[in-house]
Structure 1
Amino acid sequence: MSQNSEILSVIKIVKEKYAPDGRVEIFDIVATQGKDTVILKGETTSKLAYEELILRAGSLYGHLEDSIRLLPDETLREEIWGVIYNSVGTIRAEPRYGAELVSQGLLGMPVKVLEKRGGWIRIQTPDKYIGWINGSVKIVTKPELQQYLQKPKVIITAFSTHSAGKPKNDSFPVSDLVAGNMLVVKGSKGKFYQVVYPDGREAYVRKSDAKEITDWLKSIELTGESIVNTAYRLMGIPYLWGGTSPKGMDCSGFTKTVYFMHGIMLARDASQQVHSGNLIDDQGDFSEALPGDLLFFGSKGNGENPKERVIHVGIYIGNNRFIHASDYIHISSLDPADPLYDEFNANRYLRTKRIIGEVGFSGIETIFENEFYKQ
């Protein structure tokens, strides 16, 4: 019994060290006692966690049976990468259609493939988020992904548009497209780019709806004004739990999308985004806040629940106002005298963090510095 308690303690210690956030690192391990041995079962994405657990457990028990599955699953062989080929790929918490929508992947996004189960694929997105998707992913080897990433591309800058089968405005669509989608550019015909999808489809995209990525990167102005202007363009889009695209967004999906369209990769959830950036305020004093800063909301720790809970985020726009996704994307105020006063969020304000000027520090990276994009 004492030994059993020890192995459970070891599992907990290793999990807290290597995989404290199950959204971005899997470590689901259990120990069962056999007659003369201890059996470790489960799965993990962390090779370091696996190796340390085996080492520690081996020092506790003379007989150890290792039934841990290291992800990506070995049955995948070399095909442990993929590229999203639909405008938006739906990512769920479990491999079933009725499961919670946890995130979305955008067309052209590289993903890591962890395992397959029936028609479902467990993937990890560039922000490290893990979930299940059915369809939408072209599976490739690492050399194939590297070859794909090196090809010239365009990024869709219009928040909602479509590609066409011919370089004509009245041509039937090949698919819908949303801001942030990336397609290989094959050529140019008049007012259209000729593009290729990750799954091989070819189409045409209006040049007014897209930019070549090299030109797009040069044109980005990462300023508070530009962040707020992009946020304004998303006004009125309905709230969608798990949404990270102009088809529907949750609060952190909104902030993530706005910064993505400025070349910045933010973490997926508000409770993860709060760990990035420079702290500006945590007392409700907005005198130092600037447009583009992120405001976080939730509940502070207390005697009964000592752990802080960050559950909402918005973008500061100045004058004690912020824009956020709640029911739909709209502007609210933290000033009681303002007709847009949001008493509910004012009462659960936690802190203000600055992203602009912090790229390269405190967990903030540009899209193409992300390890998934620079294979």
Structure 2
Amino acid sequence: MRKTIFFFIFFFSMLSVMPQNSDIESVIKLLKEKYAPDSRVEIFDIEALQQEDCILLKGKTTCKAAYEELIQQVMSISENVEDNICLLPDKGLGDETRGVIYNSVGTLRAEPGYGSELVSQGLLGMPVKILEKRGGWLRIQTPDKYIGWMSGSIERMTDEELKKYLQEPKVIITSVSTQSFGKPEDISFPVSDLVAGNILKLKGSKGKFYHVVYPDGREAYVRKSDAKETAEWLKGITLTGESIVNTAYRFQGIPYLWGGTSSKGLDCSGFIKTVYFLHGIVLPRDASQQVHCGQLVDSLGDFNDAMPGDLLFFGSKATEENAKERVVHVGIYIGNKRFIHASDYIHINSFDPADPLYDEYNTNRYLRTKRIIGEIGTPGIEEIFENEFYK
């Protein structure tokens, strides 16, 4: 008899918890849509688990506002809630929640394993946020807000150490690819390879070489013909369509690499991102993010108003059967209905059927043209040293 009574008490208590749990799951879904609709740049992986006498909230998030609103709303639904959410950066990291990439190219993967998908890359000198650690892997966020896992390549720092590092004079590599040397001599052994966009601390100068220091403390010499002091580089940038196109031409022939954002290999949006970065501009990582930036120029495909340097987007339009548009490719307009893009390798194609470079496939999936030049400071388009990671 006592067992029967206990069963009914337990059964009806569970019935009262179930609708609460359902309400909490709805709150989680709505907050994810509100604060973290794009998991590439914001983490909100929370679940509500039904325990015997309470609701257990567990998971991770990078968004403090979402976390605080979740706790507030959940407590209004039920007082029997256990909070086991990790607000990233993980407290277990201590004070070293910042870092700078010290290899010419650091590889970001979707999961902490070498067999996981390559999702992006970070360049030497790039400041990053460190979110959590798993074994020898760090989960990081780059200045374009992209999140991924990296093994090695990162010199960990505190906020103060990074602030001090960023204030030091720097040089940026302007050659598509080169090397640094152990001595200020062309015949010296290399310290490492370098690619366009790498940034190193400037220690001094000797003859035709800059004396540089890597984020991990290595010292080397870089030819002045391969680099510029960042202050001089920024002052000399002329952001025009012609300049964008001329920079894009320098990468011709470089192979396509899924996830690539360096001159070792580039995917379509990585190519765009790198070309604009070399003009002091930080753009979002992927084509489906870049399409939301800038001013709409064309959506008909006549290109009457398109100018060199504009971005061209490709994919599939929304239909009655599929209500969601898909943006899967991006290139740079160079004029005369021609464009340069990363597809197999960096090369030029045309929208004109009479042109020997005609690209029927991409012509048929063209979506729109967007203008970045003249739109600096609008959503998604930042000058490098206005980006919070570089401050």
TM-score normalized by the length of structure 1: 0.99
Partner of 2:48: 31
Q: Counterpart of 2:49 in structure 1: which amino acid?
A: T
CA deviations on 1:275-300 (whole Å, 9 max, x unpaired) are 11000011112000000000000111
Unaligned runs of 5+ in 1: none
The within-5 A match list for 1:33-48 is 33-48=50-65
Q: Which of 47, 65, 88 is residue 71 of structure 1 equivalent to? A: 88
Q: Counterpart of 1:133 in structure 2: which amino acid?
A: M
Partner of 1:131: 148
What is the aligned length? 374
1:304 and 1:38 map into 2 onto residues whose CA distance is 39
Partner of 2:115: 98
Q: Counterpart of 1:235 in structure 2: which amino acid?
A: Q
The DSSP-based 3-state class of the residue aligned with 1:31 is strand
Partner of 1:57: 74
CA deviations on 1:40-72 (whole Å, 9 max, x unpaired) are 111000010101111111111120011111100
Partner of 2:329: 312
Partner of 1:293: 310
30-39 vs 129-138, greater mean Cα deviation: 30-39
Partner of 1:364: 381
Give the deviation of 1:132 after TM superposition. Answer: 0.2
Q: Counterpart of 1:75 in structure 2: which amino acid?
A: G
Which of structures 1 and 2 has the bigger CA Rg? 2
2:323 and 2:96 map into 1 onto residues whose CA distance is 44
The within-5 A match list for 1:131-280 is 131-280=148-297
Partner of 1:2: 19
Give the deviation of 1:356 after TM superposition. Answer: 0.5
Give the deviation of 1:8 after TM superposition. Answer: 1.4
Give the deviation of 1:36 after TM superposition. Answer: 2.0
2:317 and 2:105 map into 1 onto residues whose CA distance is 35
2:170 and 2:273 map into 1 onto residues whose CA distance is 21
Partner of 2:10: none
Q: Counterpart of 1:68 in structure 2: which amino acid?
A: I
Runs of 4+ in 1 over 2 A off after TM superposition: 1-5
Q: Counterpart of 1:119 in structure 2: which amino acid?
A: G
Q: Counterpart of 1:192 in structure 2: which amino acid?
A: F
CA deviations on 1:204-240 (whole Å, 9 max, x unpaired) are 0000000000110111110000100000010000000
Give the deviation of 1:362 after TM superposition. Answer: 3.1
Name the % identity. Answer: 75
Partner of 1:322: 339
TM-score normalized by the length of structure 2: 0.95
Given the alignment of the two structures, is residue 80 of structure 1 paired with residue 97 of structure 2, yes or no? yes
1:109 and 1:315 map into 2 onto residues whose CA distance is 25
Unaligned runs of 5+ in 2: 1-17
Q: Counterpart of 2:33 in structure 1: which amino acid?
A: E
The DSSP-based 3-state class of the residue aligned with 1:372 is helix
1:122 and 1:60 map into 2 onto residues whose CA distance is 33
Partner of 1:114: 131
2:168 and 2:214 map into 1 onto residues whose CA distance is 12
2:342 and 2:53 map into 1 onto residues whose CA distance is 56
Q: Counterpart of 1:367 in structure 2: which amino acid?
A: I
1:347 and 1:138 map into 2 onto residues whose CA distance is 46
Bigger share in helix: 2
1:4 and 1:311 map into 2 onto residues whose CA distance is 38
Given the alignment of the two structures, is residue 351 of structure 1 paired with residue 365 of structure 2, yes or no? no
The DSSP-based 3-state class of the residue aligned with 1:8 is helix
Q: CA RMSD in A?
A: 0.7
